[in-house]
Chains A and B, each alone.
Chain A
Amino acid sequence: MAADDHFAYIFAAELHERLRWFITLRWMAVAGLAVGSLVGPRMGLESVWPSLFVVALFVAAYNLYFSWRLGGRSGQERPLGGLRHCAIRQMVMDLAALIVGVHFTGGLQSPLLPFFAFHMAIGTIVLSTRLMYLIAGCTSLAMLLLYILEENGVLRYHPLDPLHGICSRACYLNMVSFVMALFGIVYLTDSVTGRFKERNIKLHEAKAALQERTEELQQLLDEIAEVEERKSHYMRISAHQLRSPLGTVKTSLMVLTQGYVDPGSERGRKLLEGAIERVDGLLRIVNDLLELAKIREGRNRAPWARGVNLNQLVADIFDAVSPLADEREIRLVPLVEGVAVLDWGIPPDLVFALENLVQNAIKYSLPGGQVTVGLRVTGGGEAVLTVEDQGIGIPEEFVEQVMDEFVRAPNAKAHAAEGTGLGLSIVREVVEAHGGRITVRSVEGEGSTFTVTLPLHHRPPEVEALLHDGNDGGYQTPTGS
């Protein structure tokens, strides 16, 4: 296992917390060393003053440094690598201080020796086992070197018991058991904690995966909530649009039934006819709402057909709307370049959408005006349909929302009373179902241009799914050409 993996079990926040705890423990060590340096001479250990005190100052100094390095930011904000280096540095400094302390307190007889064991155990928990074997080896070599230098008189030996000199041969055994203890503790600690480390790693991985899934779910929930919100808003707007004419109808009927107006009188007839007119409007809104819902759900629609010829479609629409254009004294002008054939399309929907646009153009034109219907094919494989009129136009503040449900500009209402405000919404749905987009340019009083761009080679998901199953039997071959 790579060292990095081995480290992985202890994570930044946890490691940071432990390192801070070590700093607290180290202040106790500083206190212990200082007290030892003061008390030692009274007990016959002349060598510990001031040497042990200097060691205490040294430990205090680097503890302050590490405390400063670790302070402030929390563990999560720190890179794990940096914390790990900090842990190794603390370990090396501690062991160095211990070796110096050991030198002044009797070498291999030193009462400080058990603290090596303490460091090996903690180190194996916090750092990687391989690194700890390396540290145990280095510590052993350092102790051996110290022992050799002391024995050969290069370094002065400070005996624990001044009455006795350097412990002769028996100390070789101490050296051996010291080295064995260091390695043994690393090994034992590792064998005890290894399994926990692995479990810890797995737990952490599971936690991370869970966190990721939770975030995905949360995002999904947010999206659903947003859709719900939009739906509910749409429902409220729709209900209001129905409620307004219903209010008028009910008021009129109450006035008639409660005897304020005689139903047979001229006024009575006007109220009744007005009520019928409102009910007709309500029916139109309800039908358009149903139409919109059907397109949105993609259900109960005419089937997708192959090879839909838009030129033919435009010609058919011209035939269909020319009586209306004649009636309103509007000139219809075709402007067709090339032949546009969609790979896939729903002909009745496309007819509905384009007819709606052309009808609107006629409806909001002034007598004597001109409506131009353009069709061309771009090099990028798109059919571009334009419907341009010289009519009343759309006020600037309504241009962007004119295709939203129930949006009708005041000049449109004044010009043509009927209209549900849903036609353009349906057109947009149809265009988008065909993978296309619709834009509008308009200047109030000058006219509007609606531009529908349809990709020729769009393959709708419904067709994709069926073709994938090798079953396209339900689809018609080219229509209208």
Chain B
Amino acid sequence: MLEIRDLQVHYNGITALRGVSLDVNQGEVVALIGPNGAGKSTLVNAVSGIVSPSAGTIAFEGKPLHSSRAWTISGMGVLQVPEGRQVFPQLTVTENLQLGATALRGRKAGIPLDEVHALFPILRERAEQLAGSLSGGQQQMLAIGRALMGSPRLLLLDEPSLGLAPVIIAQVFAALRTLKERGMTILLIEQNATLALDLSDRAYILEQGRVVMSGASKALAADADVVSHYLGVTPEG
């Protein structure tokens, strides 16, 4: 479904990605793990059209994405939940969710608001509150809900656990597991490798802009090198 080939990204004089190839198939949850600064966020931002690659190709269902604008890519159903949530702070929770449906662009009807509320009941309780007044965990739920309103065909999640308390992380990942069970295709970026390998079917390990290892998540979690390198370090890494 998503095919990335030899992707290179340079910006501000830094080489962030040095030839990354990666695939996500329909219905799969693929994790991208690796230390801070490995280029994980750069990769999702390249897929979303926020940064432009200097070489390589990105294709979604055979259509090239690497020269499209960010809003066109969102309109195709490739939807990102950005790092640090990035909800619209001065708008209400409901308005944030309604804006998520902008990405539909007359594709089929989206995931109804009720379903998002069922997944994250707090968003119904706080419907009329300004998004900026929510806690970090609630904002993360709102950011995911906002992307769901656009009926994602590929959901890109950038560090959904970042800065959240363990109990909140558990709630967020329980919701992600529900989405997985419903067949949602997900590319998950995580520093917390334990969480990421637990949820995903396959994983890629990125270091200094290169894929250094990839394979089935279960196999990676059992690999001694991976365990000592990535699972041994603290989640905040």
Partners in one complex: no
